[in-house]
Structure 1
Amino acid sequence: MQLSRLCPGDWVTLNARYFPGNDCLVAADGRVRTFAEVDARVTRLVRALRAAGVGRGDRVAIMAVDSPEYVELVLACMKLGATYAALNFRLAGPELRTVLTASQAKLIFLSARYEELVEGCFPAAAAHVQERIAFDKTEAGLTTYEDFLASGEDGGEIESVTTDEEILSISFTSGTTGVPKGVLQSQRMIKAVTQSGALELGVRPGDLLMSGAPLFHAGGFGHVLYGVSRAAGSVVMPQWELETALHWLQSGRVTEAMLVPSMIIQLLGHPRVTDADYAGLRSIMYGGAPMPTSVIRRMSEVFDCDLHNGFGAGTEAGGQLTLRPEDHRRALAGEEWLLGSIGKPAFGCDVRLLDPEGNEVRDGEVGEIASRGDTVMSGYLGQPELTARAVRDGWFIAGDLAWKDEEGYLHLAGRADDMIIRGGENVYPVEIEDVVGAHEDVEEIAVVGEPDAQWGQVVTAVVVLRDGAAPLTVEALREHCRGRLASYKVPTRVVALHEFPRNASGKIHKQELRRQLGEGLA
């Protein structure tokens, strides 16, 4: 007998029944769609997708800036049981071709600004795409989202019939020229991540949420789902825009916000940031990059609300740890050491610190963060060996190193790999090294992250040049990378060395390289 489950696709319908007039999606310009209106549009969209040949398990790609329509499309896919692939709109052409091929999507929905970029994927990289649909008018006259929506039949409620292990989302964590990491997110995972986040933040019916993270990002759409699941609304900005964000925070309507440190630093530097008392703002969730203590203190003074610091592998395992408001209050009252912590396990997440043999380390010793719970992914698309390395006996291991103090708070000790986190975005050095290493004047290349007050980390390219080559400038390197890498991956600094520090096996010693850069020796 098939048990009847409450699926993510049912959330909007349930809240349309009991909270029909509550704001659901609020555009940056103030246009509002209630839960009743969004549910009616999502229901019609499900029927339009079915008529277009999209069924349970089929895939739909999205290459677009954020909008209420974008959210409706994802909700419709969840209700239908189709798998959506939200693509990073910052990807360059080669990166997009790689992930679009991997997605095997039947349809792709896009913003007009990316029409030419998507067109460049045809036919080889997108032979599986049967139709392109635009959220706005395009030069080629593609079917618009509203026309596609109108093609669906009107009618009563549609009940979701998906099971918890069905894959609702494929989230690509990087767009390399090789095989991308497509994270398979099940209904179980999405439900658990949403429940954990909504509970930790205390989201209530009638709240209005705002996230600075884009919808293709796990944190961005996850924050919207907190609202959808709890009859709360979400402000949806096309992209991060400082003036728009400040306007909404000062409107008195936004109750919860999620921002990365670079956004908070921009807000605190705005000349009008103290023009409001932010009386309606209950809390801010920050994370995704290191946050200076001075910025946390200033944020508390200006916004005067609860603060949450979230840490985790959002795409693969949701929020693993959180430093809660009571912890921030202790820290700001004098126990400042707490602000250097990444907190304690989030709701629904079990966390351990393991040694290389997989044994739990003692308090005070550094170990690799491992977590388990319903928030863990189902694996990587088409990469069973990579999945087996990342998920061991149900425990997800991302390569983050930490130690636990006597009160049970975890403190980050570094990363087992060399991932760079710039403004909340994960940057993988290998893909940048491949591009920069192809420059005719570069003999060897190593890409590392360096601390930055605004972005948390920035990308630095350390090179050994070929004999007789002229100095490589940042401008020349940017020109070389243009069209091959997303802008946030392009190095902001170039350092030339005669030779690299190396370990015993002859490999470039990145830890020593970072030390030299920090001391100004490189």
Structure 2
Amino acid sequence: MVSHRISVGESVTMTARNKPDAPSFLFADGSHHTFVRTNARVNRLVSALRAEGVGRGDRLAVFSLDSHRYVEIVLAALKLGAVYVPLNYRLRRGEIDTLVARAGPVAFFYDVRYEELLRDLPEAHESIRLFVALNDGDAADGADSRYEALLATGHEGEPAVVATDEDVIGLAFTSGTTGLPKAVLQSQRMMKAIINEQVIEYRMRPDDVRYSAAPTFHITGICQLLMCVAYGTPSLILPQFDARTTLDFMAADKLTAVFMVPTMISTMLGLPDVHDHDYERLRLMYYGAAAMSPNLLRRAMDTFGCDFLNAFGAGTEAGLQAVLTPEDHRRALDGRPDLLGSIGKPAYGVALKIVDEDLNELPPGEVGEIATRSDMVMDGYLEMPEETERALRGGWFRAGDLGYLDENGYLYLSGRKKDMIVRGGENIYPIEIESVLAEHPAVAQVAAVGVPDEHWSEVVRAWVTLRPGTTATGEELAAHCAERLAKYKVPAEFRFVDALPTNASGKILKRELRTWE
């Protein structure tokens, strides 16, 4: 029996009826859209896509900077019962081809700034029937784009929406390069739970005006926008994070809450006039995706004079997992500085424990793998049953993050089991970099590790041994990587050594490399 539920996509319909003239999206030039306008555009897109034969279960890929059109596509997919596939716009063509081949989208929406990169993409992938530019190179607002032409063919009537909580509505990739990338199956149930969780933990208020600097291709970014749509409050949308514009909106008292990663906060604190304002309307700055040093956090708290909240989670696969609340931050300043090293306590509705390899729960103070169970957990990985079984064993999700709980239930990170590197909020898997560098004719062995960085939190350092009789420089290897990898994955440092540390079976010991200078 099909269970008919309210779809996440219908949130814009309900808000448009309750607050038709309220702003939905704010833009840097001072203009805005209303909720009734946003809903009408989403309905036009649903109608137009159905006329093109796009329907329930079809996949719609998006490769673009952030815009109201991006959000419209996601909302239209949710009303259609289709699956949206967000792609990281920093990827290179080979990475894009790998993901498109895995996803098999029938429609591909893109920003014209990437037109040359995406040239002949439909010819390379027969699944793509619609190849739609979201904007026009000669029109900043995209008024003459193919996207707007497509909308013009649709009508504004409310479409029939049939949704079940078990429907897969998002297909997001955890990695984008060599090997078989993991495509995360995100259900209606998962997205609804994340949005409801955010309303509670991120302390939404009716007078909020929010900005999330997380890109829309991240589940953090899109769910925060959808949270505001559902709650009926406006969101500032910028194509990409811009410290100057963000600070101007904050200084003009146009924002009440802002989400950023630590790197962005560090950039804003470097602006010359950052201390010249009172930020009277700003009440919450929440951060996540990477660790923030206590020194940076104290500087930010002193400068902006608002509450701070740390959000931790394996968002793509398990949503929000732990929260260090504003009250915890205030306690830290009042004599508990150790709390600033914590990522908080389990979020609302989240069961969390520290486990060993056999999923046995460990006592406080003992390091193990972080495991959580909640309605925010994914349905699994596309066509990867063994990986799914490993990640969701017994219903508990494990991402490979290591940590421990103290006697009071606060969670502290201890590292990453899979050696994942987090640079400025972006996840980097060392195998991606190592595979590319191994293709260079001079490279014999390579190991990529993360090293601390005050601005980026972590950067990539590549340890390299060269083949006998060959030479290579760091600049040469960086250029080799830059041709094949997204810019943020290119190592910031190259260290050349005669041999890498290995164990008895020949496996490179990265834990030793992290202690090398």
Taking structure 2 as the reference length, the TM-score comes to: 0.97
How far apart in 2 are the matches of 1:445 and 1:122?
A: 36
Counterpart of 2:512 in structure 1: which amino acid? E
Instruction: Give the conservation status (yes or no) of the 8 Å contact 1:309–1:323.
Output: yes
Q: Deviations over 1:464-491 (max 9, x none)?
A: 0112333422x21221122310000000
2:341 paired residue number: 340
Counterpart of 1:328 in structure 2: which amino acid? H
1:131 paired residue number: 130
How far apart in 2 are the matches of 1:324 and 1:135?
A: 38
1:271 paired residue number: 272
Which secondary structure state, in structure 2, belongs to the residue aligned with residue 515 of structure 1? coil
Counterpart of 1:65 in structure 2: which amino acid? L
Instruction: Give the conservation status (yes or no) of the 8 Å contact 2:47–2:159.
Output: no
2:119 paired residue number: 119
- The correspondence for 2:155, drawn from 149, 153, 156, is 153
2:366 paired residue number: 365
Which secondary structure state, in structure 2, belongs to the residue aligned with residue 177 of structure 1? coil
How far apart in 2 are the matches of 1:467 and 1:4?
A: 66
User: Deviation at 1:373?
Assistant: 0.8
1:31 paired residue number: 31
Alignment partner of 1:422 is 2:420: no
Please tell me the root mean square deviation across aligned C-alpha atoms, in Å. Answer: 1.5
How far apart in 2 are the matches of 1:186 and 1:317?
A: 11
Which secondary structure state, in structure 1, belongs to the residue aligned with residue 10 of structure 2? helix
How far apart in 2 are the matches of 1:240 and 1:94?
A: 26
Sort the Cα spacing of 1:49 and 1:205 in 2 relative to 1 into closer, same or farther, 3 A. farther
Which secondary structure state, in structure 1, belongs to the residue aligned with residue 313 of structure 2? strand
Alignment of 1:43-58 (within 5 A): 43-58=43-58
Instruction: Give the conservation status (yes or no) of the 8 Å contact 2:211–2:258.
Output: yes
Instruction: Give the conservation status (yes or no) of the 8 Å contact 1:64–1:109.
Output: yes
Alignment partner of 1:383 is 2:389: no
Instruction: Give the conservation status (yes or no) of the 8 Å contact 2:446–2:465.
Output: yes
Sort the Cα spacing of 1:312 and 1:281 in 2 relative to 1 into closer, same or farther, 3 A. same
User: Deviation at 1:4?
Assistant: 4.1
User: Deviation at 1:28?
Assistant: 2.6
Instruction: Give the conservation status (yes or no) of the 8 Å contact 1:85–1:170.
Output: yes
User: Deviation at 1:387?
Assistant: 0.7
Q: Deviations over 1:296-318 (max 9, x none)?
A: 11111111111110111000000
User: Deviation at 1:177?
Assistant: 2.6
1:402 paired residue number: 403
Q: Percent identity?
A: 48
After superposing the two structures, state which structure 1 stretch, 417-426 or 12-21, moved more. 12-21
User: Deviation at 1:100?
Assistant: 1.0
How far apart in 2 are the matches of 1:213 and 1:199?
A: 19
2:79 paired residue number: 79
Alignment of 1:476-491 (within 5 A): 476-491=476-491
Number of corresponding residues? 513
Instruction: Give the conservation status (yes or no) of the 8 Å contact 1:45–1:76.
Output: yes
- The correspondence for 1:144, drawn from 138, 143, 146, is 146
Q: Deviations over 1:168-213 (max 9, x none)?
A: 1101111113221111100000000111111111112342111111
Q: Deviations over 1:15-46 (max 9, x none)?
A: 11111122111123222111111111111111
How far apart in 1 are the matches of 2:316 and 2:478?
A: 29
How far apart in 2 are the matches of 1:259 and 1:104?
A: 32
Gaps of 5+ in 1: none
Q: Deviations over 1:203-233 (max 9, x none)?
A: 1234211111110011111211121111011
Instruction: Give the conservation status (yes or no) of the 8 Å contact 1:132–1:143.
Output: no
Instruction: Give the conservation status (yes or no) of the 8 Å contact 1:95–1:176.
Output: yes
How far apart in 2 are the matches of 1:477 and 1:425?
A: 21
Which secondary structure state, in structure 2, belongs to the residue aligned with residue 117 of structure 1? coil
Instruction: Give the conservation status (yes or no) of the 8 Å contact 2:405–2:411.
Output: yes
How far apart in 2 are the matches of 1:444 and 1:360?
A: 38
Instruction: Give the conservation status (yes or no) of the 8 Å contact 2:311–2:322.
Output: yes
2:20 paired residue number: 20
